[in-house]
Amino acid sequence: SQKIEQNSEALNIQEGKTATLTCNYTNYSPAYLQWYRQDPGRGPVFLLLIRENEKEKRKERLKVTFDTTLKQSLFHITASQPADSATYLCALSTGTASKLTFGTGTRLQVTL
């Protein structure tokens, strides 16, 4: 069966450092991989989307890589700030309007 794992349930880093989150999947051939941010008691908020034929995407302090050979995506937040503290979810789909399958999530805590 399909499995999407985010390697750390929780990640603590110091302000100013780069946070790197990992998303690994098995038994899946996604065409799209997305990253979302979720704050407690709220719905997820879309951050970035990367296609299977793309290696890297950037948006401001965010960077996503996608390696379909390794079946892995890395999500980086550079110059992290306490306001970046949240749960980050990766999600895979086979089409832009297809259902999303979510990973297990990583709770990021950025401290001063």
Partner 1 sequence: GAVVSQHPSRVICKSGTSVKIECRSLDFQATTMFWYRQFPKKSLMLMATSNEGSKATYEQGVEKDKFLINHASLTLSTLTVTSAHPEDSSFYICSARDILGRGLGYTFGSGTRLTVV
30 makes contact with partner 1 (CB under 8 A): no
Cα separation, 89 vs 22, whole angstroms: 10
The answer to the question of residue 100 lying near partner 1 (CB under 8 A) is yes
Taking CB under 8 A as the binding criterion, the range among 13-21, 42-50, 60-68, 72-80 that sits at the site for partner 1 is: 42-50
State yes or no: residue 49 binds partner 1 (CB under 8 A): yes
Contacts (Cβ under 8 Å, ≥6 apart) of 98: none
Taking a C-beta distance cutoff of 8 angstroms, is the pair 5, 103 a contact?
A: yes
The binding site for partner 1 (CB under 8 A) comprises 34, 36, 41-47, 49, 89, 96-97, 99-105
